[in-house]
Amino acid sequence: MHELSLVDELVATCLQLADGRPVLEVWARCPAGTDMDEVGEYFALLARSGPPGQGSCLERAELRLEQRDVELCCTCGFTGALGPDDIAGHIGVCPVCGRASEIRERLEVVAMSFARAEVAKPNCPGPRDQLP
């Protein structure tokens, strides 16, 4: 269930950035080791079931994920990116001294695209956005 809290945070950030505009796509970076399928599923779930009047602008948003390296700053002095083998869930293992530390994870919004710049009317069925 760890991914759920990350996605919750991501959706909140998206809603804030969207400011009511209908979102088409969200590009986000997730830490290596994140279960991307799970993130996608949670996003779809949360984007469609936001608080009343807020979920609507993410309703049709597609989430595009890219992975980035996880950085670790260890007490032994090691600072750098961890490989997939050094990460288990949200625990990273220092490749120098083997110490396990919790990784601070976050899904970062890289970019978002919006439907036509129209005022969102959550309570009215909108006009067709996609012309044939």
**Interface residue list for Zn ion (CB under 5 A):** 74, 76, 78, 94, 96-97, 99
Nearer Cβ to Zn ion, position 97 or 110? 97
How many whole angstroms from its chain centre is CA 57?
Answer: 16
* 3-class state of residue 37 by DSSP: helix
Map tokens 């597609």 to a residue.
62
CB of 2 to Zn ion, least distance (A): 23
Nearer Cβ to Zn ion, position 78 or 114? 78
CB of 70 to Zn ion, least distance (A): 14
Radius of gyration of the chain, Cα coordinates, nearest whole angstrom: 18
CB of 106 to Zn ion, least distance (A): 22
Map tokens 């609507």 to a residue.
56
CB of 56 to Zn ion, least distance (A): 47
Torsion of CA 52, 56, 27, 7, to 10 degrees: 30
Nearer Cβ to Zn ion, position 10 or 94? 94
Cα distance between residue 5 and residue 34, in whole Å: 12
Nearer Cβ to Zn ion, position 91 or 110? 91
Cα distance between residue 56 and residue 110, in whole Å: 21
